[in-house]
């Protein structure tokens, strides 16, 4: 935070921004951008229109027809300050209507929530950002530093047609940015009474989506038969799915656990920290994955007829590795499939492979996040955490940009927030969106 910002109290966000964020999110959810069946172009055009309505120019870039991203820059008052990047993805994972209690693409507002696919991943942050920026344009607010906006395609499939493509082909839009904020951070976790932790993402696991293939000997299903590809693959998949990787405490997790111990008084054993995660409720699933590598089978494919033993079978594994522990993950998987084959050759190949990222929890930007949170919640305690999933931070970090997950939400203690990511009945509280608008407004004015 600059001295000038500290000496002049920041005015509250215009009420219009808090009112508008709900309608913006609802409209954006109604644009079905399920990856890969519904390309992002309509949503990218909608964002460009919303910016154009308040006099902000933007450009739409396509990696291929329909796979579109919208880029804009808000000029700051101080040309000596390096820009801040705010990036959010426009695509969502698919949703089955029959599984939901509401239409997942209606953007319905009921019971104090905005419902629909993308409500928390991550059209909420897109809407909050637009609400603040549109409000600024209407009321004449200018930030001190330039702010680059990137509403991008394809994050849910690894960003190959979105952020990765932008960094590889249009880096000039982001190359002067030094820091970035985006999804899956800044949300509250109530740990007792009125005490709330706000988890700011400073690290995330790397991705290794794998295809395993077993090649055996085909034959008739009625006969005694060895070298069965399905049997060998099932054995390998079971062992991978049941394998428990060792605990590793990365710098981010060490600081996170230290904060938890200090705040709650828990005696946390760094060799066995997982029992302490129970205090985090539903977030324990996400945080529990931050101390070890993981590998989960997600898909199986084999055979074409009930009485035919196929010559091959395939499985998909979603594996994630901690910063610094990529080789351990793949060495372990290779050892498992070699042992499980028992005469059947099992090979693996990458479907998607991407890096782990980590930055330190310090600097003016972190101080600014913490101050902005406290301005709206005096009981807010900002702590760093390592996210089990992945974001477009992987792409933008290649330009030397420090990335933080900061999509601020004040959540009800009873809400199982982590279960809503890619979950059924995804929804976000209206009050949480309004809180996020106020925090972002405060943070972006002062950062």
Q: What local confidence, expressed as pLDDT, does residue 343 receive? A: 82
Q: Are 126 and 46 in contact (CB under 8 A)?
A: no
Is there a single domain that holds both residue 46 and residue 56?
yes
Is there a single domain that holds both residue 273 and residue 381?
no
Is there a single domain that holds both residue 101 and residue 245?
no
Question: In terms of residues, how long is the chain?
Answer: 447
SS3 state at 283: helix
For residue 270, the cross-strand partners are none
Is there a single domain that holds both residue 122 and residue 193?
yes
**Average confidence (pLDDT) per 10 residues, the chain, 447 residues:** 39 68 98 98 98 98 98 96 98 97 98 98 98 96 96 95 98 96 94 87 96 92 86 96 95 90 82 77 76 96 94 97 97 95 91 94 96 96 93 96 98 90 96 97 93
Is there a single domain that holds both residue 338 and residue 408?
no
Is there a single domain that holds both residue 376 and residue 417?
yes
CATH code of the domain covering residue 292: 3.30.70.360
Is there a single domain that holds both residue 20 and residue 47?
yes
Secondary-structure breakdown of the chain: helix, strand, coil percentages, each rounded to the nearest 5: 35, 25, 35
Is there a single domain that holds both residue 332 and residue 213?
yes
Rounded Cα distance, 346 and 337, in Å: 6
Is there a single domain that holds both residue 146 and residue 291?
no
Number of domains in the chain: 2
Is there a single domain that holds both residue 349 and residue 371?
no
Q: What local confidence, expressed as pLDDT, does residue 15 receive? A: 53
Q: What local confidence, expressed as pLDDT, does residue 219 receive? A: 86
Domain span at residue 348 reads 203-354
Q: What local confidence, expressed as pLDDT, does residue 165 receive? A: 98
Q: Are 277 and 287 in contact (CB under 8 A)?
A: yes
Could you say which of 354, 376, 398 is where a domain stops?
354
Burial 174-184 (b: 16+ CB within 10 A, else e): beebbbbbbbb
Whole-angstrom CA distances from 155 to 72, 121, 146, 163 are 19, 10, 24, 7
Is there a single domain that holds both residue 333 and residue 207?
yes
CATH code of the domain covering residue 387: 3.40.630.10
Q: What local confidence, expressed as pLDDT, does residue 2 receive? A: 41
Is there a single domain that holds both residue 235 and residue 348?
yes
Enumerate residues 6+ apart whose C-beta is below 8 A from 35: 91, 92, 93, 94, 154, 156, 157
Angle between the 15-29 and 430-446 helix axes, to the nearest 10 degrees?
A: 120
Could you say which of 354, 388, 412 is where a domain stops?
354
For residue 202, what are its two tokens?
Answer: 């400073």
SS3 state at 271: coil
Rounded Cα distance, 445 and 100, in Å: 39
Enumerate residues 6+ apart whose C-beta is below 8 A from 203: 250, 252, 323, 356, 357, 358, 359, 384, 385, 386, 387
For residue 258, what are its two tokens?
Answer: 């230290």
Q: Are 415 and 234 in contact (CB under 8 A)?
A: no
Could you say which of 354, 369, 387 is where a domain stops?
354
């Amino acid at each position: 935070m600059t001295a000038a910002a500290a000496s002049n109290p920041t005015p509250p966000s215009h009420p219009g921004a808090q009112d508008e964020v709900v309608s913006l999110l609802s409209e954006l959810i109604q644009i079905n951008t399920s990856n890969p069946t519904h390309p992002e172009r309509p949503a990218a055009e909608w964002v460009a229109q919303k910016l154009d309505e308040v006099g902000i120019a933007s450009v739409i870039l396509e990696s291929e027809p329909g796979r579109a991203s919208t880029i804009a820059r808000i000029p700051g008052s101080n040309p000596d300050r390096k820009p801040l990047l705010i990036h959010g993805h426009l695509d969502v994972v698919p949703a089955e209507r029959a599984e939901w209690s509401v239409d997942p693409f209606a953007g319905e507002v009921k019971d104090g929530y905005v419902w629909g696919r993308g409500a928390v991943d991550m059209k909420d942050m897109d809407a909050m950002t637009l609400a603040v920026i549109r409000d600024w344009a209407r009321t004449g607010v200018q930030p001190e530093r330039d702010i680059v906006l990137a509403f991008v395609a394809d994050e849910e499939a690894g960003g190959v047609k979105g952020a990765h493509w932008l960094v590889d082909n249009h880096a000039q839009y982001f190359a002067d940015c030094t820091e970035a904020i985006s999804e899956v951070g800044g949300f509250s976790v109530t740990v007792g009474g009125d005490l709330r932790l706000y988890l700011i993402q400073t690290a995330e696991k790397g991705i290794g989506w794998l295809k395993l293939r077993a090649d055996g000997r085909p034959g008739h299903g009625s006969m005694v038969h060895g070298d069965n590809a399905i049997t060998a693959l099932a054995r390998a998949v079971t062992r991978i799915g049941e394998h428990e990787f060792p605990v590793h405490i990365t710098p981010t997790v060490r600081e996170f656990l230290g904060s938890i111990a200090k705040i709650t008084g828990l005696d946390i054993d760094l060799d066995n920290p997982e029992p302490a995660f129970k205090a985090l409720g539903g977030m324990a699933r996400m945080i529990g994955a931050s101390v070890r590598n993981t590998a989960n089978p997600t898909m199986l494919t084999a055979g074409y007829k009930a009485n035919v033993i196929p010559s091959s079978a395939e499985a998909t594994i979603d594996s994630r590795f901690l910063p610094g522990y990529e080789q351990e993950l793949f060495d372990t998987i290779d050892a498992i499939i070699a042992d499980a084959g028992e005469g059947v050759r099992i090979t693996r190949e990458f479907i998607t492979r991407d890096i782990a990222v980590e930055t330190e929890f310090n600097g003016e930007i972190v101080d600014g996040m913490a101050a902005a949170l406290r301005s709206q919640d005096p009981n807010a305690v900002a702590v760093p955490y390592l996210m089990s999933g992945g974001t477009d931070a992987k792409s933008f970090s290649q330009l030397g940009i420090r990335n933080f997950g900061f999509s601020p939400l004040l959540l009800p203690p009873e809400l199982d927030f982590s279960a809503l990511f890619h979950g059924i009945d995804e929804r976000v509280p209206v009050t949480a969106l309004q809180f996020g608008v106020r925090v972002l407004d405060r943070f972006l004015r002062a950062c």
